[in-house]
Structure 1
Amino acid sequence: MVVADSGPLIALARLELLRLLPSHFDEVLVPDEVFAECTIQPQRLGARAILAARESGLFECVAVTGTAQFAADHLLGRGEAAALILARDRACPALVDERKGRRVAQQLGIPVVGTVGILLAARQAGNVDALSPLFDALAAFGYRVPADLMREALRRAGEL
């Protein structure tokens, strides 16, 4: 089981790789706040794929309470707060990319995986051919991946 935040969902949707999630996790939960963030503008790149993924049962949307206070306490957005609350409550990893969210998760003892981790696992399992073009596509979308993280993933994938 994993709880997804909006950043990784959008990144994987834009790459047309949401299908990778069920191959790595038996259950994917998405807080209602995160789903709303991802689909509030259905014409945006990735939003339609996320809508279709929900309709196909790729993930389950879950209501989360207490997000406003948690967000204020930790200086997070409501979607990210909802993802961390749900991951904490379900004792499962959170799929989060944003540095601040990852730091709060670590402080709370919540295991974290990110988009790069999903892509690397997919590469190692043979579910994607190469990471480099995926990182190029993310950069073209304006999705920032730290250079050191990208190099390490490429090294582990045998692409460096």
Structure 2
Amino acid sequence: MRKVVLNSTPIIILRNIGRMDLLKQLYENVYIPYGVYEEVNIIENCQIEDFIKIVKIKNEEAKQFFPTSLHKGEVEVMILAKEINADLCIIDDYLARQHSKSLGLVVSGTLGILVKAKEKGIIKRVKPVVDDMIRKGFYIDKKLYNEILNICGEK
């Protein structure tokens, strides 16, 4: 069974557009570290969906070995992913993604969730979902926007 660890941005943006169902339909085991749970609660002040497991990382000391430019949630995502031998980390921040890859983790972002959802036939088109995300404050540069639409055959 595939294990996926999420950072706060995918949760916040998918909740804002009413598409948390995508996570539930795509992944069997969805985890967030406690640091991400705290971030989502502070920013969004709402409950985490029942299919998401909240886990405290075991190795708190490991945090000191990460760059201070990374957020607590991002660091905990990487540590938890290593601890539970996750198949995938979903992180949007570029620096955190690069660091995750250097640790040997498989990384995707919120847009990757949409691409996979289209591949699996869960959504018919990616463009309206991405446009909705942008309207709700998700930043995506024009080049990446066009690249995603191209990958999905919607250009």
Which TM-score band applies after superposition, normalised by the shorter structure? 0.7 to 0.9
* 2:74 is the counterpart of 1:74: no
**Shift in CA distance, 15/89, structure 1 to aligned 2, threshold 3 Å:** same
- For residues 67 and 149 of structure 1, the distance between their equivalents in structure 2, rounded to whole angstroms, comes to 35
Q: Which runs of 4+ in 1 moved over 3 A?
A: 65-69
Aligned equivalent of 1:58, options 48, 51, 63: 51
Native 8 Å contact 2:62 2:79 kept in 1: no
The DSSP-based 3-state class of the residue aligned with 1:2 is strand
* 2:154 is the counterpart of 1:159: yes
- For residues 61 and 145 of structure 2, the distance between their equivalents in structure 1, rounded to whole angstroms, comes to 33
Match of 1:30 in 2: 32
Aligned residues: 151
The correspondence of residues 7-156 of structure 1 with structure 2, limited to 5 A, is 7-41=9-43, 44=44, 47-48=45-46, 51=47, 53=49, 57-67=50-60, 70=63, 73-75=66-68, 76-92=70-86, 93-156=88-151
Question: Once the two structures are aligned, what percentage of the paired residues are identical?
Answer: 26
Q: What is the RMSD of the two structures over their aligned residues, measured on CA atoms? A: 1.9
Deviation at 1:71, TM superposition (A): 5.8
Deviation at 1:67, TM superposition (A): 4.8
Deviation at 1:29, TM superposition (A): 0.4
With normalisation by structure 2, the TM-score equals: 0.87
Native 8 Å contact 1:94 1:112 kept in 2: yes
